[in-house]
Structure 1
Amino acid sequence: MSQPDIRLDVPYGTAASATLLLDVYQSPQSTQDSGRPAIVLVHGGGWFRGDKAKETTLASLLVDAGYLVFVPNYRLAPDHVFPAGRDDVLSAAHWAKDSEYAFDRDRMAFVGGSAGGNLVVEAAIATGCPAVSWSGIFDLEGIIRSTDATAAAPTAQDLDAMRSADINQTGRDDAFLRWVILQEVGGDRLRLPDATTTTRVTASTGPVYLANSLAEFVPVTDPAALQHALAAVGVASTLQLIPSTRHAEGYLADALPGSLAFLAEALDLRAPSAPA
């Protein structure tokens, strides 16, 4: 992995009187390449925590693969409930397209894991751009309804002392999953239908690459249901199932090759047509 050129804490907008910041990663040799594609890389953290600073490894790997990478922070729940995070990710993408950075504006994709995996599919719905989602959470209302016999509870893990790739690597935890989802809607179950991604995909949604471990924090039925919903409206998707309890970037080495192959194909399809 080579050392990218990194610009930290670039303002991309304001919301709720706060300045929104992103980091930019690029190859020092490609700063003037107007034909390169770009990725908006969205951190996870259950919508209630997380920071762009934890995406250095994946952002650098994406730069090595030929991408200009924008990594935004976004407003966090429960102080800022859905659609605040989604709107901030979209604002970051709009800012990138209006910026002076050299890249092909028709070749942008979104990549994220966990809550970031949810937000990138939300971005694919809104923009029609491709998305790579690792352990995204989509049927918020359905998960809450199906686990009503379990009381929501925060995790006992010391999240601040852990690497992102080490969080939630012990399999299903319905109590914590419920707690995380309820953070995104500020504890208001009436907000769940609006925040449920699965029911809002349309034929103009961008193609999606999904990855999930078979026995992880997010039930595998969730990405499978999203894939079914995408198929019903004619949107292409891939679902990679990984035999482990690892969550999101915990299976980076397993999911990255297929994700990069998907991005290369999806973004080539969006590039200007080459002469015959």
Structure 2
Amino acid sequence: MAIIKNDIVYDQDKNLSTDIYFPNDTTSNTKILIFWHGGGWFRGNKNSVKPLAVNLANAGFVTFVPEYSLAPAHLFPAAHQDAIHFVNWLLNSEYTDPDDQKNIVQIGASVGGTMALQVAGQYGFPTVTWSAPVDFSHWIKNHETVKASPDAKNDFAYTDPAQIHNSFYKYFVTTYAGGKQEAILQKMDAAAYDFSNLSSLMMINSADELTPLDSVLNFIKFLAKHDHEVELLVIKGQRHAMDYGKDYLDESLDYLRQRIKRQK
């Protein structure tokens, strides 16, 4: 069983903490994994992914699950800044050695995947995203008539999954952005991030889900245009992020292990 250290504070000013899951048989070959939880930047916490984090530790990774600032109390780029702050803290903490940067990998679920993209671009950590939203400015511009809600099924009696997804997408985007200001939304777009140090990236998405597949394909074209390596796995169905994450954990970890070996 994993050994868990809870509530290790990494930002005293914001009182943000991380849980750490240690493999029971930690060795010098143990790798480090950062898991970024989802929740649309307005909900979710590190406790919600505890069973998954235990599985990650049992797979041989010292696993960090950081919390970050949530909207509407904290608007863009608060959560993104927290992610960078966490990585800087980790690299300078007692939990890493000076040469451990090459041993760090990431998995990010939903908007946690979006944050993982930003971190990957700056630090080069091999990364897997599960249903990371990547387009905000174009999406909002093309969905002006969509009514925003975190629960459109009950709020508007919607039954069409596409309507429910669109309503939720608009809600979490505009909540974190603090509105529909195009300049802010463009900065939120994944294509606006610094990818100068991007190394290895695998994106997993369902064929028909909350994260529009066409936006993911456009983002991959953007990365390819700038000569970045990226793999895309499209799975059938409508499941989003954590809905399929456990089923694709082996594929995700195999990819990350191979990339760690390649970096040596």
Length-normalised TM-score, structure 2: 0.89
Unaligned 5+ runs, structure 1? 159-169, 272-276
2:218 and 2:123 mapped to 1: Cα distance? 21
SS of the residue corresponding to residue 101 of structure 2 reads: coil
* Deviation per residue, 1:165-208 (Å, 9 max, x gap): xxxxx556212211111112111423111111124353422321
2:194 and 2:221 mapped to 1: Cα distance? 10
- Per the TM alignment, residue 106 of structure 1 is displaced from its structure 2 partner at its CA by 1.8
Within 5 A, what are the aligned runs for 1:1-276?
3-14=1-12, 17-30=13-26, 33-101=27-95, 104-156=100-152, 170=161, 173-189=165-181, 190-200=183-193, 202-271=195-264
Higher helix share: 2
Given that 1:34 and 1:102 are in contact with CA atoms closer than 8 Å, whether structure 2 keeps it comes out as no
Given that 1:133 and 1:210 are in contact with CA atoms closer than 8 Å, whether structure 2 keeps it comes out as yes
SS of the residue corresponding to residue 105 of structure 1 reads: helix
The structure-2 alpha-carbon separation of the partners of 1:102 and 1:152, relative to structure 1 and needing over 3 Å to count, comes to closer
- Per the TM alignment, residue 135 of structure 1 is displaced from its structure 2 partner at its CA by 0.7
2:54 and 2:215 mapped to 1: Cα distance? 29
Unaligned 5+ runs, structure 2? 155-160
* Deviation per residue, 1:88-132 (Å, 9 max, x gap): 122222222222225633211121111111111111112121211
> What is the letter of the counterpart of residue 8 of structure 2?
V
Given that 1:203 and 1:234 are in contact with CA atoms closer than 8 Å, whether structure 2 keeps it comes out as no
SS of the residue corresponding to residue 59 of structure 1 reads: helix
The structure-2 alpha-carbon separation of the partners of 1:225 and 1:100, relative to structure 1 and needing over 3 Å to count, comes to same
Counterpart residue number, 1:162 = none
- Per the TM alignment, residue 154 of structure 1 is displaced from its structure 2 partner at its CA by 2.7
Aligned residues: 255
* Deviation per residue, 1:123-146 (Å, 9 max, x gap): 111212121110111111111112
- Per the TM alignment, residue 232 of structure 1 is displaced from its structure 2 partner at its CA by 1.1
- Per the TM alignment, residue 36 of structure 1 is displaced from its structure 2 partner at its CA by 2.1
Percent identity of paired positions between Structure 1 and Structure 2: 29
Aligned CA-pair RMSD: 2.0
Length-normalised TM-score, structure 1: 0.86
The structure-2 alpha-carbon separation of the partners of 1:19 and 1:122, relative to structure 1 and needing over 3 Å to count, comes to same
- Per the TM alignment, residue 241 of structure 1 is displaced from its structure 2 partner at its CA by 0.8
> What is the letter of the counterpart of residue 57 of structure 2?
V
SS of the residue corresponding to residue 226 of structure 1 reads: helix
SS of the residue corresponding to residue 139 of structure 1 reads: coil
2:167 and 2:48 mapped to 1: Cα distance? 25
Given that 2:122 and 2:196 are in contact with CA atoms closer than 8 Å, whether structure 1 keeps it comes out as no
